[in-house]
């Protein structure tokens, strides 16, 4: 009688296997009917239920939205539903190696709670043999969520104040909504803001978010260095006000075409740079915008702008309706190329789960949507 491997051991074997593995479809009639459920499946339940194999007759890869250290986001067409969505793909083996299982489950739990016009809605989440999938539904038109704010910023540089004012108002409403629910995002940045075909934003990627009740404090150093507040870089304690610093960095960058502080190699060096740097505002921007940036990029979190009322009465937002439906009716004067799709469209696959691994790692930066 041979040695019986645990689910985790089987997962490691799958990762090291050199030959292409044939996908093993789950029975549609009785999914997960056997007991006990293998550990490499049960570990990710119930947030990531097991689903049968999906092939290229059901799903069509239209391109790459983003590729990061924690996963890849693909633009995919569901052929049956005629809907385009973004799906975040995370290898199970990396989730376990980096001990981020709890955070992945928290991401799904938080996203399911979201219901806001400027938050990217969660469509579904599931697991295959090798990957976890988080699906964010888009409109049925292919140009929805056509690019992220960072890609647009990289192409055009600074934005006019009218566009910055609208972006800022929409993000203020989103952050106030999250904080009222007791959620801190911890990774507000241009790459995590998608734009629809009319130029309005959708905040996405809650992979570093967590629930933080009023009065509670966090201590984990996480996020993107150039956007991290001083209190986060120092290891805390910090709370929801850290998100407002990140908003300040984002708006400063949209205004000037550069970050207030250059990126450093680690959080210790970054903290020193942030602490001793006094960001100079260009003479070309208005006093109202300059005041807003100074009040968001305040070293002392207690003195930082952080409540909706503060923004409603701020001179920079004079005349701005802080209502999602009214903001969505306002035009955004941006030029966005919504026709481009990457060469990934022609990549064949039999199993959306197992066949992804062989080519995701070879995707170049030129494939980004």
pLDDT, tens only, 80-133: 877 888 889 999 999 999 999 999 999 999 999 999 999 988 888 999 989 999
- Please report which confidence band the pLDDT of residue 143 belongs to, taking 50, 70 and 90 as the band edges: very low
H runs (alpha helix) in 257-337: 267-276, 287-296, 308-312, 324-328
CATH number for position 302: 1.10.510.10
- 357: containing domain: 7-142+342-364
Locate 119 and state its tokens. 């938050």
Under 8 Å between Cβ of 273 and 224: no
Kindly state whether residues 199 and 84 are assigned to the same domain: no
Kindly state whether residues 134 and 151 are assigned to the same domain: no
CA 325 from centroid of its chain's CA atoms: 23
What is the C-alpha to C-alpha distance for residues 369 and 367, in angstroms, rounded to an integer?
6
Kindly state whether residues 72 and 178 are assigned to the same domain: no
Q: Return the higher-pLDDT residue of 345 and 185.
A: 185
Kindly state whether residues 164 and 56 are assigned to the same domain: no
Kindly state whether residues 85 and 205 are assigned to the same domain: no
pLDDT in tens, 299-313: 999 999 999 999 999
195 in any annotated domain: yes
Kindly state whether residues 89 and 189 are assigned to the same domain: no
Under 8 Å between Cβ of 297 and 242: no
Locate 176 and state its tokens. 């106030």
263 in any annotated domain: yes
Which residues form the catalytic set? Answer: 187
Kindly state whether residues 183 and 315 are assigned to the same domain: yes
1: CB partners within 8 A, 6+ apart: none
- Three-state DSSP at 230 gives helix
112 in any annotated domain: yes
337 in any annotated domain: no
H runs (alpha helix) in 206-306: 230-233, 241-256, 267-276, 287-296
Locate 358 and state its tokens. 């062989």
Kindly state whether residues 350 and 286 are assigned to the same domain: no
336 in any annotated domain: no
Per-residue pLDDT at 202 exceeds 80: yes
Kindly state whether residues 265 and 348 are assigned to the same domain: no
Under 8 Å between Cβ of 211 and 183: yes
Kindly state whether residues 356 and 235 are assigned to the same domain: no
Nearest to 286 by CA among 153, 150, 165, 157: 165
Kindly state whether residues 135 and 156 are assigned to the same domain: no
- Please report which confidence band the pLDDT of residue 338 belongs to, taking 50, 70 and 90 as the band edges: very low
- Three-state DSSP at 184 gives strand
Kindly state whether residues 163 and 304 are assigned to the same domain: yes
Domain count, the chain: 2
CATH number for position 125: 3.30.200.20
């Amino acid at each position: 009688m041979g040695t019986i491997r645990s689910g985790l051991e089987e997962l490691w074997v799958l990762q090291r296997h050199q030959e292409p593995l044939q996908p093993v479809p789950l029975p549609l009639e009785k999914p997960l009917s056997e007991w006990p459920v293998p550990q490499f499946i049960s570990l990710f339940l119930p947030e990531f239920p097991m689903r049968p194999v999906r092939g290229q007759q059901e799903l069509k890869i239209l391109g790459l939205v983003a590729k990061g250290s924690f996963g890849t986001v693909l633009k995919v067409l569901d052929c049956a539903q005629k809907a385009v969505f973004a799906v975040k793909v995370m290898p199970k083996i990396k989730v376990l190696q980096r001990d981020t299982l709890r955070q992945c489950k928290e991401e799904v739990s938080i996203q399911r709670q979201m219901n806001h016009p400027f938050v990217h809605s969660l469509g579904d989440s599931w697991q295959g043999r090798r990957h976890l999938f988080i699906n964010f539904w888009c409109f049925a038109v292919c140009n929805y969520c056509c690019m992220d704010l960072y890609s647009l910023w990289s192409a055009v540089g600074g934005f006019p104040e009218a566009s910055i004012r609208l972006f800022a108002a929409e993000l203020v409403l989103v952050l106030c909504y999250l904080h009222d629910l007791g959620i801190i995002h911890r990774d507000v940045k241009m790459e995590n803001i998608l734009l629809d075909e009319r130029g309005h934003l959708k905040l996405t990627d809650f992979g570093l978010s967590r629930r933080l009740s009023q009065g509670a404090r966090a201590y984990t150093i996480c996020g993107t260095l150039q956007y991290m507040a001083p209190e986060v870089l120092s290891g805390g304690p910090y709370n929801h006000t850290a998100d407002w610093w990140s908003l300040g960095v984002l708006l400063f960058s949209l205004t000037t075409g550069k970050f207030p502080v250059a990126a450093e190699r680690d959080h210790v060096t970054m903290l020193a740079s942030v602490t001793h740097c006094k960001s100079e505002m260009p003479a070309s921007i208005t006093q109202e915008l300059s005041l807003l940036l100074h009040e968001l990029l305040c070293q002392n979190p207690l003195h930082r702008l952080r409540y909706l009322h503060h923004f409603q009465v701020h001179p920079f937002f004079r005349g701005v309706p802080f209502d999602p439906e009214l903001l969505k009716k306002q035009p955004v004067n941006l030029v966005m190329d919504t026709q481009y799709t990457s060469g990934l469209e022609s990549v064949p696959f039999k199993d959306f789960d197992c066949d992804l691994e062989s080519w995701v790692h070879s995707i170049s930066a030129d494939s980004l949507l």
